[in-house]
Each structure stands twice: as C-alpha cells, then as structure tokens.
Amino acid sequence: MPQLSWFTEAYALSGSSVGFRTERLLHAEKTRFQNIEIYQTTDWGNLMVIDGCIMLTGRDNFLYHEMMSHPALFTHARAKRVVIIGGGDCGTLREVLRHDEVESATQVEIDERVTRLAEKHFPELCEANSDPRAELLFDDGIKYMADCAPGSVDVVIVDSTDPVGPAEGLFNAAFYASCFRALRQGGILVQQSESPIAHLHLIKSMRGEMSKAGFGALRTLTFPQPCYPTGWWSCTMARKGADLTEFRERGAAAKTFPTRYYNVEIHRAALAQPEFMRGLD
C-alpha cells in the first residue's frame, strides 16, 4: 500500500491553505529557474508544484485553461495568430488550437523542463503539441514580445505563474506596451490575474498598468479554481481599439469542440462584476 501523505500550500496573505492527499512523489528537480515537483494524489490526479506553489492538478485544470483561452478567442472576430507567454504545461495551447480559425499558436515558455514533465505526467494537456500550427519556443517571453513585429498578433495570452521570480516582469506597463504594439487593431491581451478575494490590489495595479500601455477596454473575468488560494481565480482581458462587452455568441453556441466548463452562458455571466469589483479602474 502507498504511504499516504499531504501536500499543503499555506498562503499567508489570505490566512488560508490548500492541500491534497498524496500517494507518492513522482518527480522532483531543480532547474535553472525553479524547483518542480510532481505528486500522484489520491483523488485529484497528478499535481504539479513549482517553488512550493500549486500549479495544476489533473482534475480541475480545465477550468483555468478554458477560461484563459475561449473568452478571448470568441471575443476576437477571427484570431489567426496567437502567442502564449508561459503556459508550459500546454493546456492553454491545446484549448487555443481547438479553434479552426487559428493558423498559428506560438508558446514561449522560459523553462523547457515544465513542458517535458507535462508531456510525461499530464499527456492529455499536450495533445496539441504536435499540431503543425503549434510552435514551442523555450525563451524569455518578455524579450519575445519586445521583438515582435508591430501589428503582427491577434491574441496574446499570458499564462504565467505568480508575479515573482521569472514571471515578475510580466506584470508591468513596459511588458504591456510590448503586447499593445504587437497586437493588431482589435487585438486582445489576456492574463491570469490571481484571486479576486486575496489579490484585488494586484488586479487594480494590473489594470492601471494596462491602461498606461494604451489599452482602452478592460474586463476581469472570474471563475472557480479549487487548487489555487481561496478557490476563486480570475483572468483580465485588455483590448486594443474595441470593447469587450460583446462576443460571438452564435459561434460559441455552435462550437465544434467539447468543453467542460466554458459555454455561452458562462461567458456572459463572467462579464458581470461582483459589487466589490465595480469601479476597478
């Protein structure tokens, strides 16, 4: 019988913790950038932990990956070129490439080991890695966006860790200005924006920096995420030269691929703001 234990992430800011019962440690290593651990849990599939912080589980990652991709792609009129910054587990890439109109999706992950471990321990997330439209680059996402040709991208998805370590530079006006310049008119930037309960100050700061970079339309969408602090998470969309209140509802209703969380009603509901989040700007 396996030796049962618990992996627990204590989160001081909210005075709370999240824990999963584990059967065994499958892998642990220190890369050039961070410490990565993979656990087998009793009820939540495999668990990836980076620098002591829970990144994803096999059971609930669909919530995050679907909300990081489908609202933006169904809001854009026709996103042909998508860039994903981070996203090394490849779940967001998989969701992006479910859209037939996407002609290319470039994923720029700084730590190749995240992707290689995902391919081994979360193979279902990596189903699209061999898609001819997919390009996997292992490089600095900040530099990549700074070097992008102006007006060459339709959607930028920043699927990053918390704003510390390698991801710290992804949450400021300089980075957002690079994204703004790279996006075509009507293009959309979407970034994970942490917990509305625990990180409202960060969401306000992000939105302020996005506005400074030139984005005129902002919208923060919330969704459940059991494995993250407080169990409630968000992504923030910013658009160049158009609003974010309308989306292709008929296209979303007639989508030709399966989802487990996202649908028209979820998208419409996610556009609504809780009372305490009104007037974020």
Per-residue DSSP letters for 96-163? Answer: HTTSTT--EEEEE-S-HHHHHHHHHH-GGGGTTTT-TTEEEE-S-HHHHHHHSPTT-EEEEEEE--SS
Structure tokens at 255: 């989508």
Q: For this structure, is 159 an active site residue?
A: yes
Cβ neighbours of 16 (radius 10 Å): 14
- Marked catalytic residue, from 60, 159, 162, 243: 159
Place of tokens 């703004």: 180
Instruction: Report the C-alpha gap between 92 and 71 in whole angstroms.
Output: 12
| Inter-CA distances, 19 with 70, 225, 248, Å | 29, 13, 38
Place of tokens 């390698």: 166
Sheet holding 46-50: strands in order across? Answer: 5-11, 16-30, 35-41, 46-50, 53-57
Catalytic residues: 159
